[in-house]
Amino acid sequence: MSGFLVHEIAADVRVRVTGAMPALPPAIDTAVEHLWQAAIRRVAEGGAGKLFNGQVFSADHITPREITGHMTEFRRIVAQMDDPALGNVLNLRSLAVCGVVRCADGIVIGRRPTGAVYQAGLWQLPPAGSVDHHALRPDGSIDLIGQIITELTEELGLTVDQVGEPRPFVAVEHPGSRVTDLGIMLDTTLSGAAIKDAHRARANTEYDPLMVVGADSIAAFVADLGDTLVPPAREFLFRAGLLPYGLSPPVGP
């Protein structure tokens, strides 16, 4: 799991749009569109729904207290995911919010759809999703907390009043796709059974299965998952005190 960049993030980090989406050279735009159309077909054939070319946030600069960037087309993000070599031209770092839901019985974890456009079939910590145009305020700031609560409601069926104050704490940047997952702690007093009931009753079908793993069992569970767990989740669990190490194993005896 080498090459991942871990960014320290303050709980009160600010995210702002400070730039505009650059124009693409015609040849690059053609390559992006070719990959986008292929992804649309792949997702449709996999039964994971439809792709839409909305606007998502891409980070240009990341510091612990502030992340600045620009809004970009989702099709460009998808193209860079599928062909990381395009990163040398597109220079995108798609920002995604990733919740770490810690409940009375443990940690919520789920498996992504096999037809997903990114990290298909892998396990991760829900809720999670790209920071899209709905999180953009009129003053150019990004509502991170609003975005993670939207994902929480859509993917787990939970509401803002059922979790404590969301706390950003670390971001992990993928070395290939350059997708940057921002971990946000979400504590709740709900039981694991109550969370699964809410998921069955009100959430979408993003995760199948959805599980709640006890804190004393999470290390063994992660070991069993191996490479089928998305790497940022390991760092998030480490930072939450639930794993002995994250993306960088200890050195020495």
Which DSSP string do the residues of 19-30 spell out, in sequence order?
A: S-PPP--HHHHH
**Is 180 among the domain residues?**
yes
**Is 76 among the domain residues?**
yes
Q: What pLDDT digit, counting tens, does each position of 214-226 carry?
A: 999 999 999 999 9
Q: What pLDDT digit, counting tens, does each position of 117-167 carry?
A: 788 899 999 999 999 999 999 999 999 999 999 999 999 999 999 999 999
**Is 248 among the domain residues?**
no
- What is the reported pLDDT for 251? 59
Whether the pLDDT of residue 20 is over 80: the answer is: yes
**Is 251 among the domain residues?**
no
Q: Which domain holds residue 95?
A: 5-239
How many domains does the chain contain in total? 1
Instruction: Provide the token pair at 101.
Output: 């839901």
- What is the reported pLDDT for 45? 84
Q: What pLDDT digit, counting tens, does each position of 21-47 carry?
A: 999 999 999 999 999 999 999 888 877
**Is 250 among the domain residues?**
no
Q: Mean pLDDT across the chain, nearest whole number?
A: 94
H runs (alpha helix) in 18-106: 26-45, 74-82, 87-90
Contacts of 122 (CB under 8 A, 6+ apart): 111, 112, 228, 229, 230
**Is 244 among the domain residues?**
no
Whether the pLDDT of residue 55 is over 60: the answer is: yes
**Is 108 among the domain residues?**
yes
- Which percentage of the chain shows pLDDT scores above 70? 97
**CATH code for the domain in which residue 123 is found:** 3.90.79.10
**Is 161 among the domain residues?**
yes
